Chains A and B, each alone.
Chain A
Amino acid sequence: MKQFLFVLRRPPHSGAFVQEMLDIILTTAAFDQPTSLLLLDDAVFQLKHGQQPADFGMKDTASIYRALEIYDVKLVYAELESLEERGLKPADLCLPVQTIYRKDIASLMRRHQVLFPG
């Protein structure tokens, strides 16, 4: 068993990329691998409240995040600076996240065996 940390950096609706990353994340968790997520840069927008992509015929990826708990994905980290630079607070997100300072990212990464860029 390996500790997976998915390091997500893209905004939502980046083509099919986010949706396909979520498929990997859910599969990893379904295979009982300890799975955590780290949202950096524009990826913090992926959890922004009040998205209505279905109105435009696009996939509601934020709602897939809300299913993560069922798969035992319990830890979602969001970099505090990424939130602040975009005028976001944890309360603007549709899922509870653990905020983490940029200076602490390296030590978070060291605690995982697989760093999965996405």
Chain B
Amino acid sequence: MKFAIQVNAGPYASNAGHTAYRFAETALAMGHEVARVFFYHDGIYHGLRYATPPDDEFDYSARWSALADRHGIDLVLCISAAQKRGLLCLDEAGRQGKRDDDLAPGFRIAGLGQLVEAIRHADRFLVFG
């Protein structure tokens, strides 16, 4: 089955991000396809490169990055949600006259059209948070 997933909650606001990660990891392990994970609202904080949790805590950005690296899944942060919260990729920061490079490896920033397209082509669409 082909899944599209949306993550709306920030990493530490609720368990939603954690559940989404565990779902994606398990679905992939069972041979399903995760076509795209779209991070929206405060969910965009999952893609923050500089999140530095203590060693004994779940490192969301690093875990998603590793999952993307292992399975080639597409991790997309919504551009408008990310920009208003101050999370900019290198290119966009340059265009805005800023010097940020906030995006964790394996993530990219794109528009809401990428979400609609993922839903259209998926068998199931799940929203966490």
Chain A positions near chain B (C-beta within 8 angstroms): 1-2, 16-17, 20, 23-24, 27-28, 31, 33, 114, 116-117
Contact = CB atoms under 8 A, between A and B. Distances in A.
A14 to B, nearest CB: 10
17 contacts: A1-B120, A20-B40, A20-B41, A20-B80, A20-B81, A23-B80, A23-B112, A27-B113, A27-B115, A28-B116, A31-B113, A31-B120, A33-B120, A114-B119, A114-B125, A116-B125, A117-B127
Contacts of B125: 114, 116
Nearest to B128: A117
A16 B115 contact: no
B41 A27 contact: no
B44 to A, nearest CB: 11
A33 B80 contact: no
B127 A33 contact: no
B81 A2 contact: no
Nearest to A29: B116
Nearest to B80: A23
Nearest to B84: A16
List the 8 closest pairs (A to B, CB-CB), nearest first.
A27-B112, A31-B116, A28-B116, A117-B127, A20-B41, A27-B116, A114-B125, A114-B119
A15 to B, nearest CB: 9
Interface string B79-101: 01100100000000000000000
B17 to A, nearest CB: 16
Contact of A116 (B81, B112, B120, B127): B127
A116 B113 CA distance: 15
B38 to A, nearest CB: 10
Contacts of B111: 27
B31 to A, nearest CB: 24
Nearest to B38: A24
